Amino acid sequence: MPLLHNRIDKRVLKQKMQADPEARVTLSFYKYHPIADPQAFRDDLWLTWSELDVLGRIYVAHEGINGQISVPEARIEEFRQRIYAIPFLDGIRLNIAVDTQSKSFFKLKILVRKKIVADGLNDATFDVTNSGRHVNAQEFNALADQPNTVIVDMRNHYESEVGHFKNAICPDVDTFREELQVVRDLLADQKDKNIVMYCTGGIRCEKASAWMKHNGFQHVFQLEGGIIEYARQVKAQGLENKFIGKNFVFDERLGERISEDVISQCHQCGAPCDAHTNCRNDGCHLLFIQCEACAARYHGCCSQACAEVIALPAEAQKEIRKGLNKGRQVFKKGRAQNLKRKTPAT
């Protein structure tokens, strides 16, 4: 029976990826479509895509597929043919990353989940296919200029903190599940307005826009392809770019620059900065914003306490980590008690 998982140590894989001179293309895609046997579908994908040296993270569920991957540039057309050969993925939009220079993933991980995006919704209670009207970059800009429009960022606070659309509402939430309820309640008295939703690549808005329509909102729109496709279109068509700052991404890059604006601060000293990092202490691994000066001062850690931990021998560090469950603390950097600066999105 063929091996259907990667068993190599992640540190070895990271080193291999960083040393590999081969050019790669980072892209993302999603599709809501019934999959009868997610596990069998997942295993077939693994066999096919590992042959092509595809790296990345893909979620498969009964409701569809959601993927963020990296493909060798020389094999991108072969990958396109392979994915289009899957009937329900034939012609699927592949969102090519704005930042083409960085190495984004170091291993292939395909996971079977209950949902391809954790939303906490009971899909049986509303029509999930009745989503908002898709708009391209030009249409989005036109809607944004109308006084009867409300732009809503459907991402988490640590994403919108480093970049968002001008005049967008950016809820201070940690999860998409939480945001769905917050946005519904926040806009309860604005159901007759144009509600324009956006996220990184579009997948969160598919479900969110249907949820908002179910809750009585009359004019719901969603940005086709999300921030990634918007950035591509405004550049290709010479349109006004209404996005300021960085687009946060869930891979090794942690962000890709859309505009030269730096709208956030280092969480340790308050200097202008929008570079996310993870605390080097593996027992913490906190996601936060850190400038170069603080990275040098704290040795890549979020606090002096964590800097002291990484100075210990490896076995001592392992003993300290024993039994710890970090949970989603990795994604609560804006509210961590050991950070001096916890700036909300502006």
Cα end-to-end span (Å), the chain: 53
Residues in contact with 48: Cβ distance below 8 Å, sequence separation at least 6, in sequence order? 82
Catalytic residue among 199, 205, 273, 279: 199
Alpha carbon dihedral 280, 283, 288, 289, in 10-degree steps, equals -20
Instruction: Name the nearest CA neighbour of 180 among 160, 159, 210.
Output: 210
Q: Which residues is 72 bridged to in the sheet?
A: 24
- Decide the pairing of beta strands 133-135 and 149-153: unpaired
| Number of alpha helices (DSSP H) and beta strands (DSSP E) in the chain | 11, 14
Dihedral sign (CA 176, 179, 180, 181): positive
For residue 135, what are its two tokens? 């708009």
- Extract the tokens encoding 193: 């307005």
Is 199 considered catalytic here?
Answer: yes
Closest C-alpha among 22, 26, 201, 200 to residue 99: 26
* Amino acid code (one letter) for 18: Q
Inter-CA distances, 56 with 27, 51, 335, Å: 9, 14, 29
d(C-alpha 144, C-alpha 195), whole Å:
10
User: What residues are annotated to the active site?
Assistant: 199
